[in-house]
Amino acid sequence: MSQEPRMCSLFLVLFLSHGVAGQKASNSRQDLDPLLQKMAEEIIEGSYLNAFLDLIQFQSAHGWTTDLTYQILDYLNSRNVAFTLPSLQAAMENHLQQRLYQPKKLLMDLRKTDAQQFRTAMKCLLEDKQNHLDLKDIVIDLREMQEQALQSPGVNRSLFLVTLERCFQVLSSLECVKILGRVLKGSSGHFLQPDVTEWLPQHLHADAFKNLSAVFKDLYDQTSAHAQRALYSWMTGILRTSSNATDDSISWVSAENLWILGRYMVHLSFEEIMKISSIEIGLFISYDNATKQLDTVYDITPDLAHAFLERISSSSFDMRNTSTIHRLGLLVCFYDDLELLDATLAQILLHQMIKCSRLRGFRAGVQKLKADLLQIATENQTLNETLGSLSDAVVGLTSNQLESLSPEAVQAAISTLNQVLGWAKSQVIILSAKYLAHEKVLSFYNVSQMGVLLAGIGTQAFYNMDHKDLVQVLRSTVSQHMSDLSPAQQHGVLSKLNEAGDPAPGIVALQGALFKEVSLFDLRRELQFNSTVLKEKELRRSQALFLYELLSKVTGRPEELLSAGQLVKGVTCSHIDATDANSFLAHFRYFENNLSLLSPDQVNCLAWKYWDVSRSSMPPFLLATLPARFLASVPASQCVPFLISLGKNRLDSLVLDSHKKNLVLRKVQQCLDNSIADEYVVDIVGSLLCHLPATFIEGGISPRAWATTLHGLRDCPDLSPEQKAAVRLRLLEQCGAPQNWTAETVKDLGPFLVLFSGDELRSVATKFPDFLQHTASQMVGNQLPKEFLWAVFESVRNSSDKNLRFHRIPGCHGVSAPSSDDIFKLAEANACWTPEDLLCMGEDTFIRNVELLGAIKSFSWPQLIALKEKAIQVWDTPSCWREHHVVSLGRIALALNETELGQLDLSSIDTVASLSQQTEWTLGQAKSILQGFLQDSGYGIQDLKSFHLVGLGATLCAMNVTEIPLIKISEFRMVVARIGKLLCSNHVLAEFKRKAEVLFGKPTEWTSSVLQELGTIAAGLTKAELRMLDKELMLYFQPSAIKCLPDEIFKELSAEQIAALGPENAAAVTHAQSRQLSASQLQSLQLARDGAKLHSWQDVPESARPTRTSPARSAHLQGSLHWLLPAASNGPDLVLTLHLETRRRACVSSPKSVALHKRQVDFTKQVLERLVDLQVSTVTSAAPVVTALERLLGEGRWEHHCFISCLDHSHQPPQVLHLAFTAKWLQSSVDEEAKVIFTKCRSENPSVASIAFERVTQNHSEASSYFSGMVSYRIHNHVSLHSDHTGGGGLPPEEDFCTYYFHCRNPMHPSFSKIFSSRCRIDYDVPHRTLL
């Protein structure tokens, strides 16, 4: 059973009740050891942590006997402290649990321990010498205690601080360094802030200093640049002191000091490096581990690298000696002595430069150096002769150079080429074709040699392989590269396996991504699955649903299935509900450990189950998935566990509905008291930092907590524009003006640089262009702000060659065209080139960089057109292009018009598959691609294989509906899941749905796994078919299918079906779809979004239940409502029905209401007829309605209010006043401020918009306030049914109802109060004085 860590489970406990409570205690308190007496006194004082530490010390020195337990109890009783074993256990448990969630108090406790207790605490928590504390019948697991303490937010921070403060005074420096290393490794380095050096000792034993320096080196990448600089200063301070340097003319940097500094040597200044003695640098290079140290200087700059190389060359080491080159580590990436370099040495250097991909920045210079070395390495030799000796520099060869290679040269060099990383897709295609040039049919041997080049084999070639050879390939080591294949290639493999007839030898053996492509139909034919073979496989959710259902019927051990890797994806709510309480609690840890694999619906079902069986031990994060009202069950005392639990999980995956997420965040802010005071709170909040509103970021985070907060915000995947603006303001406040920033500041800001304006970034681009460019290169593939891209662009252009290039190109005079160096540095900022710049690019530059340019997401249409024209200039017309040309284009291909697409050679499905990866094709372009493939390949629709269908991808949406029936069902069945990812038009999806019926039967026969497999195909259901679906299946629509359902079909779902959609699918419902829904459907939709379950009030948290009524009143209501109780299972309208019917009956049963009933009916007819005449559903102003009401009702205010009351409470509200209508009415009747709030709170769902009615301003006239009050009151009735205002369980009892609204809702306008007062007096016969 999973619970939040509890300190009692760590530090607990001296005693457990093992039947000793009633036994006789020892007779003499003098028999108790002094240390145990001290422990007992600490128990009396409530210092339980100190007592526990004394216990550990005593046990380690003397052992433990059973009678000691009785002696301690006897001692406590002699001091008149009436402890029983259970009460003592409870007291300690409560105290130590509080310390877990109050780590600052734990820090204070540890500061107050005496020296021996502190020593014991450090050793038992952070060392490995003692794993268990054996108290005879009781064994305390110290290792578990250690692990859980270090994983608890805030606790490890307290341990880190108290270790810094006290450890070096109590324990040996070597012991303290070991303890610090253990704590820091669990902190991801964020404890190492610049001020940490204030606590570090300035004099350490040499071995302790080396060990602590090693800890800091290990955490280098997780440490901020400012902290790195501070730690470097601390390290060099000690090293300078211990050196023999007497003045500044002698360098303190010895060989040993360089070894100690390790990665920190990059912080040495240029001057300090140049002062290093040639003897010392030579000695350092001669160390066996010097290469290991130099291999880690990832962030070294070119200037410092050249300085080190110069000092090494001044020593006795020959820089052209092979042994020396092997010792240079990452310094080889900056090797600059190329004059008279021979080809052999160039090849050696190229081989060593494989490691240069680890550098942080300056990669453009590395690319240029590789190109220069490549030229030297191939001097006086052909490329065919040197291919195998060029290492990973071969990725710099252009497509023209690769095409010039002979097949024999590629075959001879395959052992090198098959290991090189960084190949472009087009290069892989060319090399694979060369290697297999003489092979008509692939053999196992040839394929097994290809390594990373495997993805260059054509889909058809895989399909043409011998079945036995293919199975052998799948069982060999080359199968690890199967995940690099395109979906079409993977289905080429699967199609061949399926042709064998018996799927067993192939399917069961499939691994990774390939198994994930196996169709549901083929899984159903396989009979040899078990939980063991599934453990390492990737599964689609549809596969998991089927396999879990299948295997659950043959195994009685849930742990076998839940521990079988991704099979947990297939657990349904029915499985969860059917689990008995003990089994559920025993196996919950399997769900918790695989939370990232679970859908929001599964987590919601787990939450409901936990709530039902053991709500007191429920992991708090699960409360967020239940209806928002359940958050009321979290008292202030449990806020810290709630925040920790929620902060360890991704809120976006738990709560999808934005309104509900806002309610959760409101609870979070309430728990935080709207502020984060220090770094301890940041530790507790965890990932919730990413969701704090902008106002909180701007004003709720203290300066003390900001550095730790910023570290946490770096990991946030998607901050809102408002949050980004708030972060920017705080950064400017903290760091000052950008022109004053240091290199460390720019490094630490990293991804936050995109938040600043072009003017603010201009000084950064001038002072630190390399850092800015490196930041941009780290964010390739993201949509970046235009101002940031322009800053990067200007920094590159300002540092590049100013000479205007390519004047010989017509029309390019005066244009500074892009160079390869520019393009490589710019990354996504290439989007700042003008179309004219791109057209003036040199041919060689285009050929070398076309793949990089084709990956730029920010290119505009004119830029894509320019690049397409450049491709035609370089490669001739599209009819001349080969597969590798088309593949390399990427997004540039989108600029091809229908005629140009028709000119392409599309006979290869791999060429088509590369085009179908783009998602921005027009329908006309898609048709051209589809028809081009059919014409060039000679296939008809009826001839298409499964891998053809997959390769065609989104172009299948361009098929005519008359063509879809021609697809063979034997091929279609293999790719249903792939087609189910397409966002086709509804008539196309409807035709695919008909084919699905051939496979899986009528929709009424579909199972959860089938519906999940179909994906968007399920959106082709007709109105009648949709209505007939079992509501239990609604969870298993894919969200994409829900979005694809046409509005007029979606509205045919019943309220019960909509309520059963679950949180994930309900969140996918579009605005247009929801506008078509009725009031009851909207209510059901909101229930689904909220994670509701049709439970009675006993499932509601105690604090969220409505106020109890008096016994007499309860009896009266029970008697009048007993007829409704059997309706508890009738669907989501139960609460609404119960509430409205209760209020209606109360209204019409009071004497005053009965007397007025006939007149109310008359008024109802007159008012509704008048409202219909006025066509209020289309009016833009409330004035005509208010006037009509005033004229009709005259001065009969009492009758008017009772009429409105009964109208509101009627079991079947008149259609003219249903919720959707009231929304339009409200928007035209309240002031602008209220309208803004109303819109923000979902104008199409008034049931969550009650905040709008609290903002009626003093500018309202008497009449408009009158009218707003009437409408407001009606909406409030519906709001109360499922919002957090009254706990969601209904309204307070009638006698308190009006007082509640007057004192809690607090309307601002006096006329508003006047209306409420009148209505309350009539509705419930409440005396006027009660309302005052």
Q: What does pLDDT average to in each consecutive run of 10 residues of the chain (1332 residues)?
A: 39 37 43 85 86 84 77 82 72 76 89 90 68 59 68 84 89 87 77 88 88 91 92 93 74 91 93 93 90 92 94 90 92 91 92 90 88 90 90 91 94 93 94 91 91 95 92 88 94 89 64 89 82 88 94 87 92 93 93 94 95 92 92 88 91 92 94 92 93 94 92 89 94 92 92 92 91 87 88 88 56 84 92 94 94 93 96 96 96 96 96 95 96 96 96 96 95 96 96 96 95 97 95 95 96 95 95 94 94 55 37 32 29 34 42 47 47 39 44 38 36 35 39 40 38 34 40 40 34 36 37 40 37 28
pLDDT of 834 reads 94
Half-sphere exposure of 1204 (CA within 13 A, CB side): 24
- Tokens encoding 192: 């190492």
Tell me: cis bond preceding 13? Omega within 30 of 0 counts. Answer: yes
Beta bridge partners of 350: none
Instruction: Specify the pTM.
Output: 0.78
pLDDT of 1206 reads 35
Beta bridge partners of 140: 133
Q: Burial, 554: exposed, middle or buried (Cβ in 10 Å; 0-12, 13-18, 19+)?
A: exposed
CA distances from 34 to 30, 37, 41, 135, 267 (A): 9, 5, 10, 18, 55
Amino acid type, 169: Q
pLDDT digit string, tens, across residues 772-806: 988 888 887 778 899 999 999 999 988 876 544 54
Which among 378, 380, 389, 433 is positioned nearest to 413, based on CA atoms?
A: 389
pLDDT digit string, tens, across residues 845-895: 999 999 999 999 999 999 999 999 999 999 999 999 999 999 999 999 999
Residues composing the chain: 1332
- Tokens encoding 142: 């110290």
Determine the Cα–Cα distance for residues 110 and 746; give it in Å rounded to an integer.
Answer: 38
Amino acid type, 953: G
Determine the Cα–Cα distance for residues 347 and 527; give it in Å rounded to an integer.
Answer: 55
Q: 480 and 449 in contact (C-beta within 8 Å)? A: no
| 3 state SS of 27 | coil
What does DSSP assign to residue 535?
Answer: T
Q: 278 and 308 in contact (C-beta within 8 Å)? A: no
Determine the Cα–Cα distance for residues 445 and 793; give it in Å rounded to an integer.
Answer: 49
Helices marked H in 980-1036 — which ranges?
Answer: 986-1000, 1008-1014, 1023-1028
What backbone torsions phi and psi does residue 986 show, to the nearest 5 degrees?
Answer: -65, -35
pLDDT of 156 reads 84
Beta bridge partners of 537: 512
Contact partners, residue 1139, CB within 8 Å, separation at least 6:
1277, 1280, 1281, 1290, 1291
Beta bridge partners of 701: 676
The four Cα atoms 573, 579, 584, 587 give a dihedral, to 10 degrees, of: -90
Q: 459 and 492 in contact (C-beta within 8 Å)? A: yes
